[in-house]
Structure 1
Amino acid sequence: MTETPTGAAGRTHTLPTIPRGRTGVFALPTGLVAMAEAGPIHRLRYAGGHVGWIVTDYELCRRVLTMPEFSSRPDLRHSAIHEAIGDGQPPEDRPGMFVGMDPPEHTHYRRIVAAALRLGEMRKLQASITDRANALWDACRGDTIDLVSGIASPLPALVITQLLGVEETTSHTLTRCLERMLSLESSADEVRGMFGTIFDELGRVVLRREGDHAPGFITNMIDDGQLSHAEMTSVAFQLYTAGHETTTNMIALSWLHLLANPATAEAIRGDDTAIGHAMEEFLRFFSIIQYGISRAAVAEVSLGGVVIQPGETITVSLPAANFDATRFPDPHVLDVARKDRGHLAFGFGVHQCVAQQLARVELTVALRVFLERYDEFALDSYAMKDDTIVHGLTRLTVRPKRSP
């Protein structure tokens, strides 16, 4: 375990920063494996010079995410990776931003959203999602086709905008802003600017739905009458941002793996149970929230042999937890037949991703539709993201196979 007293300001520059960069698209952030093997918890130099902690052990990660001694409030915690982006928490406090709240305040908003995103309700969307996916595939033409820009990116955007009741023209604006907001190359001012633009756009959508009551979750919130305009805008923001970028990258990485491993694709093709197991393994293995999520200690906590002081921030490394060999045998093997669904890809505890069932339905449909067509295409090239908090691809091009 690496440990340096918090007060040793002159030595903080010698502390490690969070592992970043990858040697390959399916490799963990460089240095993360070695850090995890050296111990379950380490001192870490955060963005802006703060000193915090990183926990890499599966069970300790689950403990942090369930203990009331650790808060989600953004005003109490720091970021290991970017002073404004953090781990995806918006850089400004707005009414209704429940991802940055603790119970019982968090519970009020969570209950409203979770009721609309139950698995049964999400499964009712399978047919329409399948139709949209097939339409996007059918529209792809050319000697090479980019599956990211052509299908993997627009599909989740179309689904979440339909669910919310957001016009597709507005969705295009939101998508561009979201990409810039999540880029580690964006300055803090740029991130705040993009956040403001997305929030303003969605605020105008809420105003339009208050006037026309067009179908969607925003109108449902209006009719429910429990939330203010600002609160509804915040909820829409959280659902849009949670339901787009992460799903896009999970789809693209899953397709890349199957294109590179046709025997695996053939083994699960047409078998919904096998596709379900493969999807959960993809979620574990890709662990696309690559820098984890942070919490702030609000009381003294003994954890993994160290004492966390009130006011200190701790980063929960979801990728490290999902590759903990004491929890997942042979964790560095991507085994689509693995039946263990205990991964932390969606987090854990009361803040576990509220849209996870929607994500699962979208991923299932994306895999099923792809597997119906995969042998019509050959992998051409791909490009890995290297500047965002969400791991994924910027490009995945395929070449249609010519009939003999």
Structure 2
Amino acid sequence: MEDPFEKQQIEQFKVELETNGAAAAAAKIDAYLAEQDNIPLNIGITGECGSGKSTFVNAFRGLDKRDKSAAAAPTGCTETTMEVKPYPHPQHPNVTLWDLPGVGTPDFQAEDYLKLVQFEKFDFFIIISADRFRQNDVKLAKEIQRMGKKFYFVRSKMDQDMRNEEETQSEFNAERFLTKIRNNCFQGLEKQDVDSPKVFLVSSHHLHLYDFCKLQETLERELPAHKRAALLLALPTVNHEIIKKKKEALQLEIKFLAAGSAVGAAVPVPLLSGKVDLAILVATAIKYRNTFGLDLESLQSLADSARVPLEDLRAEMKSPLALRDISREVIANILRESSCQVTLIAAEEGSRLIPFFGLPVAAGLSFVSTYKALSTFLDMLAEDAQRVFIKALGLHTSV
């Protein structure tokens, strides 16, 4: 079923094309796509000092705990966050995680906290604790709720707790222990008058375990529709479902990219359409690769985190887009290997020679050609991401 909003956008592009011509319609499509890529999402990460806020910020953005680059939030056993500090996502800078000072530190008492951190700019808050949620966490949650924003409790460092419990118990049962932790969190918050608290057990060093996937599903469900794609594309690729949803979000954009290609084909300049199409294909293929975490930097971070050799992960990538710089030459070679694409491109250029009806036919062929190429690229890289995920984390990744 077609989204009414998307249908409305397409109608607007048609009106622009009929009223002001191909160049104006192309500009309108470009502006729409740029707007979609830059929808801001601001996530506030807060909690008491030492709760693991900075580690969570790094993990969410796909940075390994040993990453020492300027992009990584500093971590440590002391209070390392003394000011409100933004950490844009490395691949999707419209998504920013804000590492907030610990609640209850001398300079940030709970009563004045939200005012000091400029509460209004955040889309939602994640309140992190390494053990139990305390009075300051609850005060903050109630104030967030009073102001009409969403918040979620994350019980961090679950990998440490699991190790400690296993070492001290002769009959260790993982599911029973996790249930006990969840119940303790729920009961502790309900005793402090927090109604129906949303609590998620997370290990920032192993996001594929425990409740991170439930947190992701909850955020996706409760975010406004126009913010949802921004979240999905920025999420770390830690399970099959995220890969699937990233692919679905990217697939929805293809019709607009293909429309831009079609408009370019309607301009009566020989070979211009081919140049426009190649530019679209290169930029979009790079976006797909980065969104699935298949760029070299993301792969290295995954290899370090999963303790798998980088070359083993690279060996799982079979598509011609994965292991080289994506350039016009690479894209052109892939297109030449497809007889269908070669036929469509030749037919598009040939149709330009037909008087009166040639340009509309060329536009339609350009739409089909671009749509098919981008869908193929998306399939290739999504399949690579699935294979890399299986190699790095295994098929059975839930406790």
TM-score range normalised by the length of the shorter chain = under 0.3
TM-score by length of structure 2 reads 0.25
Query: Which protein is bigger by CA-based radius of gyration?
Result: 2
Indicate the structure whose relative CO is greater, using CA pairs within 8 Å and at least 6 residues apart: 1
